[in-house]
Amino acid sequence: MSLTQDELKTLVGQAALQYVTPGTIVGVGTGSTVDKFIDALAASGLAVAGAVSSSVRSTERMKALGIRVLEAGEVTSLPVYIDGADEIDHAGHMVKGGGAALTREKIVADLAERFVCIADESKLVPVLGAFPLPVEVIPMAAAQIARRFAALGAQATLRAGVVTDNGCQILDVRGLQITDPKAFEADVNQWPGVVTVGVFARNRASVCLLGTAAGVKTLVF
């Protein structure tokens, strides 16, 4: 019997526990797959010193389960950051931001020595871009940035009703094929008004735990 997407998320959430060292502070991302990891961490009895969270949502979930949450500014580094992805390619580059937390996710990822991505196999792609690329923008610049994407042959639309934890807006960009994620990330991040582009190439995954019909597959990059 094949597993549901929810069951695959539970599997990879539990598998990520092997990358958590007792007594350390763990970086924790955002999203439905990460929720499974938070639940597994709380149930495991693993005594962590605390967690640095990338979103209000994850912070509230961890506090409710008795996990101590620290601010990013309280730590100088993290041994591991565990988060999901909307897409991941075969080199560990990712598209993230479906949950609108991409800037904080990138900040916490940048503190970490190792990024462990947890995802189901539908997220593994040969080329990034099929999933609409989230870009967090300062509201004043949204129309201007949308025009820049249009010049690249892509369509950027404002995500209706969404204000990020940073008080900004999200553009979702369709029609891209991101063949050089590192160069693309570096370029778009320079556009005035862009807070963060949802390509994680500089902060790519070191490991991906992929939920498949045959169980959890470990990809190392």
Write down the CATH number for the domain with range 133-197: 3.30.70.260
pLDDT at 185: 98
Residue 122 among known ligand-binding residues: no
CATH 3.40.50.1360 for domain 5-124+202-220, yes or no, is: yes
Mean pLDDT of 82-103: 97
Q: Give the active site residue among 60, 71, 87, 105.
A: 105
Instruction: Quickly state the pLDDT bin for 198 (edges 50, 70, 90).
Output: very high
Residue type, 18: Q
CB 208 within 8 A of CB 88: yes
Instruction: Quickly state the pLDDT bin for 204 (edges 50, 70, 90).
Output: very high
User: Residue 70 above 70 pLDDT?
Assistant: yes
pLDDT at 3: 84
Report CA-CA distances (Å) from 98 to 28, 164, 170, 212.
16, 11, 10, 21
Of 129, 122, 134, 135, give the one whose Cα is nearest residue 208: 122
pLDDT at 71: 96
Instruction: Quickly tell me which residue has 């990059």 as its tokens.
Output: 221
Mean pLDDT of 43-61: 95
CA angle 33, 49, 221 (to 5 degrees): 45
Bridge partners of residue 128, in order along the sequence: 178
* Confidence (pTM): 0.95
Residue 97 among known ligand-binding residues: yes
CA distance 65 to 210: 25
pLDDT tens digits for range 144-184: 999 999 999 999 999 999 999 999 999 999 999 999 999 99
Quote the percentage of the chain above a pLDDT of 70. 100
Bridge partners of residue 208, in order along the sequence: 117, 219
Give the domain ranges of the chain: 5-124+202-220, 133-197
| 121 catalytic residue (yes or no) | no
User: Residue 15 above 80 pLDDT?
Assistant: yes
CA distance 26 to 20: 7
CA angle 172, 181, 158 (to 5 degrees): 10
CB 76 within 8 A of CB 25: no
User: Residue 95 above 90 pLDDT?
Assistant: yes
Three-class secondary structure of residue 133 per DSSP? strand
Question: What values do phi and psi take at 29, rounded to 5?
Answer: -85, -145
Residue 76 among known ligand-binding residues: no
Residue 2 among known ligand-binding residues: no
Mean pLDDT of 100-110: 96
